[in-house]
Amino acid sequence: MVSSNRTAGEAEFGHNPTLTIPPHFAHQQSSINPHMSGAKVVVQFIAADVGGRTMPAYLTKKYRPHFRVGSGEYLGVVFSGDESSAPIQPGICMNAEVRFIYVPNVDYGDLVVGAQFQILEGARIVGIGVISDLVT
């Protein structure tokens, strides 16, 4: 769930919303395959009143946000959903799959199983998530 004791400005400019992560997604250190192509993720979008999206998200191949672990690099991803994917309302947790756009030129090594990340559209945090599995 998203922590909601923030103003819109705090969520937008750097406070990190958190997602409650089930124990089986506990952060795992693993040897990273530099050629992994994507990941299975659990995502949740933040409501507009705390700085998130004003419209639902469509997790189709047209949606290309960035993921960021902590204060690290912006990592370009594209969601794998098709045009029939239902819109995701803020506050709803959803399983999805993403592909890493810039492999092998960008290091996606921070995105290990259990890693929590922010979903960014430009500099604005619009959602949060956790890596549930890697796809090679």
pLDDT in tens, 20-45: 555 454 444 444 556 679 999 999 99
pLDDT at 84: 87
Number of structural domains in the chain: 1
Residue 3 lies in a domain: no
Assess contact for 117 and 98: CB atoms under 8 A.
no
Per the domain annotation, does 1 fall within a domain? no
Quote the pLDDT of residue 44: 95
DSSP result, the chain: -----S-HHHHHTT--------GGG--------TT--EEEEEEEEPBGGGTSBSS-B--BTT---EEESTT---EEEEE-B-TTPPPB-TT-EEEEEEEETTTTTS--TT--TT-EEEEEETTEEEEEEEEEEEE-
Q: Which residues contact 126 (CB under 8 A, 6 or more apart)?
A: 45, 46, 52, 53, 57, 65, 119, 120
Torsions phi, psi for 72 (to 5 deg):
-75, -165
Give the domain range for residue 27: 8-135
Report phi then psi at 76, rounded to 5: -70, 130
**What's the CATH code of the domain at 52?**
2.40.30.10
What pLDDT does residue 102 have? 94
Residue 85, pLDDT score: 85
Residue 9 has pLDDT above 80, yes or no: no
Give how far the C-alpha of residue 36 lies from the chain's centroid of Cα atoms, to the nearest Å.
17
Residue 65 in any domain: the answer is: yes
For the residues 78-95, what does the mean pLDDT come to?
A: 92
Residue 2 in any domain: the answer is: no
pLDDT surpasses 50 at 2: no
1 vs 116, residue with greater confidence? 116
Which of the four pLDDT bands, split at 50, 70 and 90, describes residue 111? very high
In a domain, 97, yes or no: yes
Among the ranges given (6-10, 23-27, 91-95), the one the predictor scored with the smallest mean pLDDT: 6-10
- Whether 87 is covered by a domain: the verdict is yes
**Domain assignment present for 72:** yes
